[in-house]
Chains A and B, each alone.
Chain A
C-alpha cells in the first residue's frame, strides 16, 4: 500500500472549473517509509498540494488516496487526518494552549485516545523531539526551533503514518533549522514514518530519498537528490538555485577546471578538488 497516491490533481482557489489554477494536474506517488522533499519557488503550489494529503483542502478534481483511504469521500476526512499529520510554517500559530502538555493532549483527545494512555504518549513524543521535562512550561517562552519541536511532538503523539512538514524551517534561525532537521531525520530513521517535506532550501533536500520539483502547479521532475539537484537547468526551471557544490562545479568548468564528477555536497566538492591536486 502506498502512503500517498495522487493522480491528475487539479485545484483552483477561484471556482473549481476556473482556468486560473494553483494545481495543474499533479501526479505523485509516495511509498511507505519514504522521505520525500518537494521543492519549488514560492507560489508553485507545493503548499496547496500537501494540504490535500491531510484533507485540509477538499479534492476538486483528480484521484487521491492517503494511507489507503480515498480522499474524495468526506467520511474519511477524520481518519486521514489521524494518519497524516502536519507541522506548519509559523511556530507561533499552532498552539491552542499556554501549557505544553495540554497542547499536546489536544490532538490525542480529538482522536479519542483513552485518558490513561495520554500522559505516556505525551512523554514519549516529547522524548523523541528532545524536549523532555517541558510538560508544564509555556510555549511562548521557547525559541523558534523549540516551538517547532513542540509542534512536532503534538503531531507525533497521535502516531500518524505520514508527517508533512510545510516549510517548517523557513521562519527559524540557523540553529532552529538545524534542530528541526535533526528531529525530522530522527523520526524517519528511528520511527520509520513517511516524511513529506516542503522547502525552498535545497540543502535540506539532500537527506531525502526522493526529490520532486514543482513549478506552476505541476511536478516537473522527480528523482534522487543527486539526479535532481545536480541538474542546473531543471533547478532554474523550478526557480531554484542548485547547491553551492553544484554551482562551483559549473563555474570551475567554465574557468577551465574540470572535476571528475559533479559533487552534490560540500564534502564531495572538497573531495573532488583535492583529487585534482
Chain B
C-alpha cells in the first residue's frame, strides 16, 4: 500500500500576479504501517503536500502513486482513493453538518455500498473507538456537543471508512493536555492495529513519543527525511530551523551542558526517566 510522491511540485494561482510556489520537487515514499510525522514552519508546504497525497489537488508537476498507480491519471477510480485514505483536517469540528451524530458519521460511508445494518455497525465502531457511548450520542445534534466532543465526532466520521492510511493535520491544535494525550493514544492504537499514520504537527513532544519517521519541509522543499530518533535529537539543527524540540530532548541537552551525559538520542519521556535512574544508580548507559 505504499504511497509514492515523485518529484512533485505545486504552484498556486498560476498565471496570475499572485503566483506562489508551494512545493518544489518533493519526493518521498510511505510504507505500510509507518507512523510518519511532518514538521515545518507555517507556510512550508505541509498542508499542500498532504492535500496532494489525498488527491484533493493535482500537482503542477510530478506524480502521486498509490500502490503503484497514478491517482491523477485518467480513469483512476477516485472512490478507491477515498476508501483507502482518510484525512482529518485542522479543527475538523467545523465540517459537521448533519442533524444527528450518527448521520454525520455515516456520511462518509455513502459511497461504500454497504447495507443499512453494516453502516450502523461502522458508525457504532467509529464512535466507540473515539470514546463515545454509541447509544447516548447517536441521536444527538453535533452542534450541541462540546468542542472536544465535536472534534471526536468529526474524527469518527473519517474513521468509519476504515481507511488503511490516516492523514492528520495538527490534530491536537486547541485541545487541553488531557484531550491531547487521549487523541495521541488513539492514533497510536490505530497505528498498532495496522493503520499507516501521516501526521503534520508542530508538537515535537507528541511526534517524539509516537512517530517512527520524521519529514521536515522548508519553503516548499523537503530538507529532512529520516528516523525520528535521529532528527528529533539533533538540537542544533532543530534550533537553526526554528522547529519544536521535545521536553526530554531539551532536558537531556541541558544536562549535557552541565557535563552530565545521558546519551544523545533521548527524545521520549520514559527514556529520560530510565536513563536518569540508570545514571544515578551508577550504571553505564548507552
Complex contact A244–B247 (CB within 8 A): yes
Contact with A along B165-208 (1 / 0, CB 8 A): 00000000111111101000000000000000000001000000
Complex contact A240–B202 (CB within 8 A): no
The residues of B that contact A133 with a CB separation of less than 8 Å are none
| Docked pose: A273 CA to B179 CA in angstroms | 30
A-contacting 9-mer, from B5-13, B106-114, B128-136, B275-283: B275-283
Chain B's closest residue to A277 (CB) is B260
A229-277 interface with B by 8 A CB criterion: 239-241, 244, 247-248, 251-252, 255-257, 266-267, 269-270, 273-274, 276-277
Please pick, from A42, A247, A267, A274, the residue contacting B179 in the complex, using a CB distance under 8 A: A42
Please pick, from A41, A247, A276, the residue contacting B178 in the complex, using a CB distance under 8 A: A41
A267 in contact with B277 given A144-B42, A240-B177 (CB within 8 Å): no
Q: Is there a chain A Cβ closer than 8 Å to B242's Cβ?
A: yes
Complex contact B251–A257 (CB within 8 A): no
Q: Is there a chain B Cβ closer than 8 Å to A182's Cβ?
A: no
Complex contact B277–A241 (CB within 8 A): no
| Docked pose: A248 CA to B258 CA in angstroms | 18
Please pick, from B42, B148, B177, B178, the residue contacting A143 in the complex, using a CB distance under 8 A: B42
Q: Is there a chain B Cβ closer than 8 Å to A171's Cβ?
A: yes
Please pick, from A171, A173, A248, the residue contacting B272 in the complex, using a CB distance under 8 A: A248
Chain B's closest residue to A254 (CB) is B273
Please pick, from B42, B176, B179, B277, the residue contacting A173 in the complex, using a CB distance under 8 A: B42
Complex contact B174–A171 (CB within 8 A): yes
Shortest distance between the CB of A253 and any CB in chain B (Å): 11
Q: How many A-B residue pairs have CB under 8 A?
A: 83
Complex contact B276–A252 (CB within 8 A): yes
Complex contact B277–A174 (CB within 8 A): no
Complex contact B251–A277 (CB within 8 A): no
| Docked pose: A244 CA to B43 CA in angstroms | 30
Chain B's closest residue to A241 (CB) is B177
Complex contact B251–A266 (CB within 8 A): yes
The residues of A that contact B148 with a CB separation of less than 8 Å are 42-43
The residues of B that contact A240 with a CB separation of less than 8 Å are 176-178
Please pick, from A176, A239, A252, A256, the residue contacting B176 in the complex, using a CB distance under 8 A: A239
Q: Is there a chain B Cβ closer than 8 Å to A200's Cβ?
A: yes
A42 in contact with B279 given A143-B42, A252-B273, A270-B251 (CB within 8 Å): no
Q: Is there a chain B Cβ closer than 8 Å to A183's Cβ?
A: no
Please pick, from A144, A170, A174, A277, the residue contacting B244 in the complex, using a CB distance under 8 A: A174
Complex contact B177–A202 (CB within 8 A): yes
| Docked pose: A171 CA to B242 CA in angstroms | 18
A270 in contact with B258 given A175-B41, A239-B178, A241-B178 (CB within 8 Å): yes
The residues of B that contact A241 with a CB separation of less than 8 Å are 177-178, 181
Complex contact B41–A266 (CB within 8 A): no
Please pick, from A42, A256, A269, A270, the residue contacting B277 in the complex, using a CB distance under 8 A: A256
Complex contact A270–B255 (CB within 8 A): yes
Q: Give B contacts to A, CB under 8 Å.
A: 41-43, 146-148, 173-179, 181, 202, 242, 244, 247-248, 250-251, 254-255, 258-260, 269, 272-274, 276-277, 279-281
10 sample A-B contacts, Cβ–Cβ < 8 Å, listed by A number: A143-B43, A144-B42, A170-B173, A170-B174, A239-B176, A252-B273, A252-B276, A266-B247, A266-B250, A267-B254
- Please list the 9 inter-chain residue pairs (A to B) with the smallest Cβ-Cβ separation, ordered nearest first: A200-B176, A244-B247, A241-B177, A270-B254, A255-B277, A42-B176, A274-B258, A173-B202, A174-B244
Q: Give A contacts to B, CB under 8 Å.
A: 41-43, 143-144, 170-171, 173-176, 200, 202, 239-241, 244, 247-248, 251-252, 255-257, 266-267, 269-270, 273-274, 276-277
